Structure 1
Amino acid sequence: MSEYFERNLQVIQQRWPALAERLLLEDVGGLQADLVEGLGSTLSINSIQLTSRHDRLAEAGLQAASLPQDATVVHVYGTGLGDLQSHLLERTGLERLSVHILNGAVFALVLQLLDQSPWLADPRVVLLYAGDLAEIQLPFFALPAELVLADDYNAKIRDRLISEIHLDFTNQAFDPQSPEIVERLQSTFSLVQEDCDVAELFGTLKGGEAFVIATGPSLERHFEKLHHLSKQAERPLLICVDTAYRPLIDHGIAPDIVVSIDQRISVRHLPPESTDNIALVYLPMADPSVIRVWRGARYAGYSSSPVYREMREQLRRAELHVGGSVIHPAVDLAVKMGAAQVTLFGADFAFPHDKTHAGWGDGDLGPQLGASRHWVLDGYSRRVKTQLNFRSYLCELERFIAGHPQVRFFNSSRDGAMIVGTDFHPEYVQ
């Protein structure tokens, strides 16, 4: 035990004894640590530099400057080498600095190598593991290196942080003044005008059960059971997302409702044949050529997006929750219809079994398996490949579930991402 570690640990034991015990159990030996030198020096963990190797203090100053100067409470995610914490504590108006550990082993190693006691001893500091809280706290700064190095326990919070950081960039694709968006809404205006309000479906399934079917690879394991169930007179309502429709039809499973929101979905995904008894729920950004040839009942709705502001003023339609993926309005529809129980199929948010989607080839729906550079934990607490936007979609679904405690949510598979707020369905989870 180094002199630095004894000094640092003594402060932590005095202030946060339970956390100190956790830090003593961290596997520091599993890390590859190297000193990296430039104009200055820093520590590299598993080939990821914790800070600048040229001027750590200047970097910390830039990071601190991104936070509101008048904030009395600030949250820092990741511990780094303590530079940002020390810089923020120079603010006289700061009343509390919460430091959220993103990788316990990394922090334990830094405690061995550098004196962190000055900022740890400051009475304004609160120290905790990021994963101890279910949601991110604002305002925050997340140290970039530790967003990469985040361990399994803190991975859910890492995903929420990255989703929040990318929010402005993501929203740039939905500029209400975009010529493509204006043109699309003009082309679907008459369809929305003639079709039913999705609100007509609300409350029609009071206390019932709904299956919401997405296109994750785990869906393939349920085709046989879903086919058998779909032929029964008394069964849950089957709501599927647009990309799941063709795989279901190919296996003789006719859903009750298809939900579509994406302008890139075509008749290739939603062929109109045999749709006479299937309802289509869509948002006005959907392809008008798909909507027009649909033979079953059609219901239009909006999301809260600003792209629908002008149309909303002219045509009143109910809203469905959208968090980036069609899975969100599909689940929200089930809840607003009155479902007391919702079971998710193919809601993997990942690429289990080295596949991207059920019923589609690699890259048919956009992402290719070889391009996946990220991971989430599956229902076995193992890391499974995914892509960045899938993790954001997962975060939004978990937030939605947390906001609807009156509904019981089930997941039908352990193979995809672990979805906080769901239980594993005893009949469908193998």
Structure 2
Amino acid sequence: MRELRASRSLLFESLFSMQLDEQNMTVRVEASKAGMPTLYLSRGEAAGLFHSRYQPLVEAERWAAAHTDKNAKNLAFFGFGLGYQIRALREAIGADKGIIVLEPSWEVFDTALGAVDLRDLLKDENLHLIIGGTARQLARQMGALAGQKMFEMDWLEWPAFRRFYGNEYLEEFSKELSRSMRDARLDQNTVLYFQREWPRNILYNLPAILKNPGINALQNKFNKKPAIIVSAGPSLSKNVEMLHEIKDKAVILCVDTAYRVLQTKGIQPDLIFSLDGSELNYRHFTGVRPEGIPLVMVPNVHHKIIEEYGQRVFSANIFDMLVSEVVKQIEPKGLLSVSGSVATLAFSTACRMGCDPVIFIGQDLAYPGGQAYSKGTMFETMTKTVENGFMMRHVEGIDGMPVLTDAQLDSFRVWFEVQIEEYEAGRTFVDATEGGAKIHGTEIMTLREAVDRYCTESFDIQGVIEKVSERRSDDLNPSIMALRTMSRTLYQIRRLAKLALIKNQELRELYKLRRLRAGKVAFISAMLDRIEEHIKRLNGEKWLDAPMQHLLLVVTRGRLAQAPENETDHAKAMRVTENAKLLYQGMVQTAEELKDHVEVALRRLETETIQGEKLR
């Protein structure tokens, strides 16, 4: 379990926030004839062994040998089991290729942790584990992972999985994955656009994250109490005034785009939510004062928002590789399922707090009448039409009539439906937007009807939030030391990348002579190999990967990465060294930028720590 927390902090947090008593499934370990454990599963009408009763290791090795594609870049399949087939596949294809394993059952994964030694798999940097969820949820996670990593994959099948889950499960997964991959392609543009901005936001926001509580502090604090999520859709103007009479009778959760509207109306929400890392998102707060209202945020939210208004924050999803070593030194902040809309952050927080019912207003997810945002927001004049929008479409509205939306808004609608599907048996979701797209799984009613039915009794909202939002007094010296180590490592990477630039240019000059000095070329090439290997070791936490995402695509898939037909050896050498120059220049620039951001985080954290010690 210690290795799980050290190597897979995201899985560690998820495992301990899950209930492992999956009522329709029995999981137990049995001894195989060969002596090592095998796994017994019973799910519905299917029951039996997931691995061989006789030789589980031999079975796994034969499967891996039969299904290994040497040309595949990444391989994906369902079923973690006890990990035998994963280890066999890794041995068959080598350490550099990606393996993605999807396991619907947390019970299976938890059982495997207790039954076999999984330390080698947990340390495998190219093994991606997606654990727990329905077919639709796993497909959404798979799509998000593929979009984030920007990779292609080939699918394999472990035979026993279909026996327990059936064709219907896999067909549902396949259908949802197609939709998710389409959405992921949209998200890739966002990742590439913000690839250099997000690392700065994460590091600049780090002091506030470390000094304040996480979303775990709000766990079940408003169990069975109503919550209203206030979004900035055009229909908000229909019923926003009614929030005056709801104060202290429902937890008011306001997305950042809608806060300007509420402040203008004299309505104070209980929590504000911010997700977007862009400068444009910061502008939602210009000219308004959140008046000490706690902010719920993710690490890559624009740093100016936290600097100016983030004295009291609840953070979530602190799993970026950039700060993984730093946050290992503190208690987990908590994980929330989110998509690209800030309303998804508010939704998951409401569910984490135990709120029931969860009521939506301003959640159009469409452009009724062509209007994009509510009156009173920064974008109140923005309009959309089929002609001027991107990937526009019509979907069913709350009244059964078609309403205009686009691919991105529609992906958020699907996200809400997937999440609601998981909760619907024990929780009520109400769409009181009074306009926009229909969110299946919600009860549609006016806000007046929702208030009269659900928001009738006052309860102490502010007192509860005040108590759990107090700043933490944790010892932050281990985190400070981790940041100092990070700064030194980035300095070394920058120095080595500069040296690689020099040696690559020397190699290029040799190639220009056309009469090659083979010994000299071999010497410099070997030196570059050693430098790259050293950089790879120093970049073990993948700090440079996300900020360099666009450049890596250029280097691996761009013009200089493609060999023209009938290319001469000399032309190839010039092309390869020119491509390498781009890579090394990118490493120098990225390492330098990240080091500067780390130094800012260090100064802020050390200053706050010193001030805190003086106050004590």
TM-score range relative to shorter protein? 0.5 to 0.7
Secondary structure at the aligned position of 2:172 is classed as: coil
Query: 1:255: which partner in 2?
Result: 269
CA distance in 1, matches of 2:319, 2:341: 14
CA distance in 1, matches of 2:171, 2:323: 29
- Inter-CA distance 308–393: structure 2 relative to 1 (3 Å threshold): farther
CA distance in 1, matches of 2:446, 2:171: 31
CA distance in 2, matches of 1:389, 1:376: 13
Cα deviations across residues 29-55 of structure 1 (Å, max 9, x unaligned)?
xxxxxxxxxxxxxxxxxxxxxxxxxxx
Offset of residue 278 of structure 1: 1.4
Contact kept in structure 2, 1:136 and 1:161, CA below 8 Å: no
Alignment of 1:10-159 (within 5 A): 137-139=172-174
Gaps of 5+ in 1: 1-69, 72-132, 141-156
- Inter-CA distance 277–213: structure 2 relative to 1 (3 Å threshold): same
Gaps of 5+ in 2: 1-75, 78-167, 451-616
- Inter-CA distance 428–310: structure 2 relative to 1 (3 Å threshold): farther
- Inter-CA distance 308–419: structure 2 relative to 1 (3 Å threshold): farther
Offset of residue 271 of structure 1: 4.3
1:242 pairs, out of 251, 256, 280, with: 256
2:389 pairs, out of 368, 371, 374, with: 371
Secondary structure at the aligned position of 1:286 is classed as: coil
Query: 1:340: which partner in 2?
Result: 356
Q: Rg larger in 1 or in 2?
A: 2
Query: 1:395: which partner in 2?
Result: 414
Cα deviations across residues 330-387 of structure 1 (Å, max 9, x unaligned)?
0110111111211000111001133101135795698745426212210111111111
Contact kept in structure 2, 1:302 and 1:308, CA below 8 Å: no
CA distance in 1, matches of 2:419, 2:170: 13
Aligned amino acid, residue 181 of structure 1: W
Cα deviations across residues 36-88 of structure 1 (Å, max 9, x unaligned)?
xxxxxxxxxxxxxxxxxxxxxxxxxxxxxxxxxx99xxxxxxxxxxxxxxxxx
Aligned amino acid, residue 422 of structure 1: T
Query: 2:226: which partner in 1?
Result: 209
> Bigger shift: 330-339 or 353-362?
353-362
- Inter-CA distance 312–421: structure 2 relative to 1 (3 Å threshold): farther
CA distance in 2, matches of 1:365, 1:134: 45
- 1:425 and 2:452 aligned: no
TM-score, normalised to structure 2, is: 0.41
- Inter-CA distance 236–169: structure 2 relative to 1 (3 Å threshold): closer
Alignment of 1:218-233 (within 5 A): 218-230=235-247
Contact kept in structure 1, 2:297 and 2:315, CA below 8 Å: yes
Query: 2:195: which partner in 1?
Result: 178
Contact kept in structure 1, 2:260 and 2:376, CA below 8 Å: no
CA distance in 1, matches of 2:232, 2:244: 16
Secondary structure at the aligned position of 1:401 is classed as: helix
Cα RMSD for the two superposed structures: 3.6
Contact kept in structure 1, 2:273 and 2:297, CA below 8 Å: yes
- Inter-CA distance 388–177: structure 2 relative to 1 (3 Å threshold): closer
Percent of aligned pairs sharing the same letter = 22
CA distance in 2, matches of 1:210, 1:319: 20
CA distance in 2, matches of 1:181, 1:227: 37
Secondary structure at the aligned position of 1:343 is classed as: strand
CA distance in 2, matches of 1:303, 1:139: 30
Query: 1:384: which partner in 2?
Result: 403
CA distance in 1, matches of 2:382, 2:321: 26
Secondary structure at the aligned position of 2:366 is classed as: coil
TM-score, normalised to structure 1, is: 0.58
Secondary structure at the aligned position of 2:284 is classed as: coil
Secondary structure at the aligned position of 2:448 is classed as: coil
- 1:301 and 2:316 aligned: yes
Query: 1:412: which partner in 2?
Result: 432
CA distance in 2, matches of 1:197, 1:254: 22
Offset of residue 296 of structure 1: 6.1
Offset of residue 327 of structure 1: 1.0
CA distance in 1, matches of 2:423, 2:384: 33
- Inter-CA distance 175–356: structure 2 relative to 1 (3 Å threshold): closer
Aligned amino acid, residue 209 of structure 2: V
CA distance in 2, matches of 1:207, 1:299: 21
Secondary structure at the aligned position of 1:356 is classed as: coil
- Inter-CA distance 224–184: structure 2 relative to 1 (3 Å threshold): closer
Contact kept in structure 2, 1:413 and 1:429, CA below 8 Å: no
- Inter-CA distance 312–428: structure 2 relative to 1 (3 Å threshold): farther
Query: 2:608: which partner in 1?
Result: none
Secondary structure at the aligned position of 1:268 is classed as: helix
Cα deviations across residues 396-430 of structure 1 (Å, max 9, x unaligned)?
01111111122200000342110111002355369
Contact kept in structure 2, 1:335 and 1:407, CA below 8 Å: no
Number of aligned residues? 282
Offset of residue 227 of structure 1: 2.7
Aligned amino acid, residue 422 of structure 2: G
Query: 1:39: which partner in 2?
Result: none
Offset of residue 302 of structure 1: 1.4
Name the one with the larger helix percent.
Answer: 2
- Inter-CA distance 363–244: structure 2 relative to 1 (3 Å threshold): closer
CA distance in 2, matches of 1:210, 1:337: 9
CA distance in 2, matches of 1:221, 1:269: 21
Query: 2:83: which partner in 1?
Result: none
Offset of residue 203 of structure 1: 1.6
Alignment of 1:311-330 (within 5 A): 312-313=327-328, 315=330, 316-330=332-346
Aligned amino acid, residue 262 of structure 1: D
Structure 1 stretches of 4+ with a deviation exceeding 6 A read 133-136, 303-308, 364-367
Aligned amino acid, residue 354 of structure 1: G
- Inter-CA distance 376–161: structure 2 relative to 1 (3 Å threshold): farther
Query: 2:525: which partner in 1?
Result: none
Aligned amino acid, residue 287 of structure 1: H
